[in-house]
Amino acid sequence: MPSIDSEDARQRFASARVATLGTTNPAGEVDLVPITFAIDGDRLVSAVDHKPKTTVRLQRLDNIRANPRVTVLAHRYDEEWDGLWWVRVRGDARVVSTGQHHRQAVDSLVAKYPQLVGTPPTGSVILVEIDEWLAWTARRSDR
């Protein structure tokens, strides 16, 4: 398996525009949901933004409160398979609704996503303390 060095993996992951968050629900099944996110060192931040939701009581937040262990996957698909890659992180998550960590997370997200500048997230924030990075690429070497 071609490897990606840790710095390259972090850069690829941080530059991804969307990732998939995996949490475990009360039945022990995995729930997946696309998220926007930002990376700050070994912390991933995501927020409940202003896009329409069917409810403000989101399953992903309940799942994290019950079982904080999460997995997040960012990837790139390309018809030219040499460009394929994925980076997966794992860690313990918590939900924060106010305070300094909430403000810092929102600031990180606004800096990454211009769509949030005029309407920064005001809902809960997910903070993931990343303790595992795993990456793969189809490219055998840089060309």
Residue 108 has which token pair? 């990180």
Spell out the per-residue pLDDT of the chain, length 143, in tens: 566 889 999 999 999 999 999 999 999 999 999 999 999 989 999 998 665 555 567 899 999 999 999 999 999 998 988 889 999 999 999 999 999 999 999 999 999 999 999 999 999 999 999 999 999 999 765 44
Domain architecture of the chain: domains with CATH: 6-137 (2.30.110.10)
Within 10 Å of residue 108's Cβ, how many Cβ atoms?
20
Which SS3 state, helix, strand or coil, does residue 25 take? coil
CB contact set of 102 (below 8 Å; sequence gap of 6+): 96, 125
First CA to last CA across the chain, in angstroms?
A: 17
DSSP annotation string for 64-112: HHH--EEEEEEEE--SSGGG-EEEEEEEEEEEE-SSHHHHHHHHHHHHH
Structure tokens at 118: 């005029």
Q: CA–CA separation, 69 vs 139, rounded Å?
A: 31
In sequence order, what are the beta bridge partners of 102? none
